[in-house]
A and B are shown apart, each in its own frame.
Chain A
């Protein structure tokens, strides 16, 4: 359990956000944490399941940042499937 900063981009949003997550969060939770700052705030919530894209690849929804080898301030996109 440790606080871990990432750069989050919610699909169709306009800005790159500093999003604090936890090292044990699975990507489903990471996606929610990014969405929290944008979905229904500046963009309509995306329909469909939210996935995390890192360096062009969709990550396993159960993986953590540690599993996926995402460094602090790695750029994660939350995209709807």
Chain B
């Protein structure tokens, strides 16, 4: 038994702030590493107070226990036939998840360690040290688990490979995460990674995903994701005290802008990954809610509470752009990912069998008229044996901010946009294409930060992709024929409710 209770010594041990004399504040905390946004001297940050207290000894003890239990679940399950028996759509969601998330967890460790050194209060740096260790663990565990599944699904190696390729989704993930934490200063990281992305999106998402995994019988993934979530809910709390210091010092506008910027970017990648998983890849019988319901009941509600609690406002695009996109954006991305399926490392599950379409129509009234029509045409082609007509011969335009294909025509068709055309913006003689006004707005906040990046389409037109053909681009993206996505159910959905081809003739 320790002689002292934690509360007796904790504040003293963690609050080791001191005034600098050998170096200036700017030398110790350069702006590029830690933007104080004008809140100076540094003592003004010393009131930073984390809601969740833990000592290093407790931390190590807890983490050891978490790892021991989750790795033992994995070693037992690796010897079972559990994975083989999972629904193909769910498997796709897992393969997509690992590729997009595992390496960014390591990168988040860089963001956390930057806060661990350049956070402007000792309590914060202490908390970020735990965050660094957390993210290292998340990187390790999410490359190790897929590694144990390699003999069952070779594309599990995309858990490690994806972020090292030029695959378009990997470029989108890298662009977002570089902006959010790999290449961000400590103060902005606390607000954009921990307050906006983790508190706002992933903590809730992981809770939902853990429940869904248990529902579909994926105990391995369920154990993994709940283990990660317990870390996330702790280190995400670095956001609140940072926002509070900005607000208390009269910089609510800075906090607002950082949140508005990263909320929009997070939303787009979230729609791409989670939107597709929830509404199309998760087996129908295990869906407890639609993606839109999840967004409204969890993400939207929590953000509105956060805005209110901290004296911030819903983002300028909330009513005009964000809420309307809940009805159509991810449906369009799903159609695009499925149609351009050779360009992704997982097998997209069309998820539009008659029963699934009924569910979609119920959750998104009007879905059949807007999106069902595309799937009707695609289904007709498949039933006629014209698979080649369901595969791409050119590229979609890609947004110069979110790096996701531009699907504005779907928003127009759904009655949510006034024009099907993308946003065009000229900056220093170069034309940029954006999928939405908020993506253009984020660019305009800091053109120097974003202007030099080239999208997949820019690189294609610039001659970086040789030969300049679809096969050339697929190779450039790191996709061999065996790795390219195929329809998850081998087009079973297109024939459900239709006579099997040739059946009548026999």
A interface residues (Cβ-Cβ under 8 A, vs B):
5, 7, 9, 12-20, 36-37, 40-44, 71, 73, 75, 77
Q: Is the CB of B395 within 8 A of A17?
A: yes
Q: Which residues of A contact B421 (CB under 8 A)?
A: 9, 16, 75, 77
Min CB–CB distance B360 → chain A (angstroms): 15
Min CB–CB distance B280 → chain A (angstroms): 15
Is residue B204 within 8 Å, beta carbon to beta carbon, of the partner chain? no
Is residue B336 within 8 Å, beta carbon to beta carbon, of the partner chain? yes
Q: Which residues of A contact B389 (CB under 8 A)?
A: 40-41
Residue of B nearest to A56 (CB): B419
Q: How far is the CA of A64 from the CA of B332 in the complex (A)?
A: 31
Q: Is the CB of A14 within 8 A of B377?
A: no
Q: How far is the CA of A19 from the CA of B392 in the complex (A)?
A: 12
Q: Which residues of A contact B408 (CB under 8 A)?
A: 16
Instruction: Decide: A20 near B394, CB < 8 A? Known: A14-B374, A40-B377, A42-B377.
Output: yes
Q: Which residues of A contact B335 (CB under 8 A)?
A: 14-15, 42
Min CB–CB distance B466 → chain A (angstroms): 15
Q: Is the CB of B460 within 8 A of A18?
A: yes
Residue of B nearest to A45 (CB): B377
Residue of B nearest to A3 (CB): B468
Q: How far is the CA of A23 from the CA of B373 in the complex (A)?
A: 33
Q: Can you report 25 A-B residue pairs in the complex whose CB atoms are below 8 A from each other? A: A5-B461, A7-B397, A12-B409, A12-B413, A13-B409, A14-B332, A14-B336, A14-B410, A15-B336, A15-B396, A15-B405, A15-B409, A16-B396, A16-B397, A16-B406, A17-B394, A17-B396, A18-B395, A40-B377, A40-B381, A41-B377, A42-B378, A44-B373, A71-B431, A77-B421
Q: How far is the CA of A12 from the CA of B405 in the complex (A)?
A: 17
Q: Is the CB of B397 within 8 A of A43?
A: no
Is residue B365 within 8 Å, beta carbon to beta carbon, of the partner chain? no
Q: How far is the CA of A71 from the CA of B389 in the complex (A)?
A: 30
Beyond contacts A9-B409, A14-B413, A18-B395: 8 other A-B pairs, Cβ-Cβ < 8 A, are: A14-B332, A15-B407, A15-B410, A16-B409, A18-B457, A19-B394, A40-B389, A43-B374
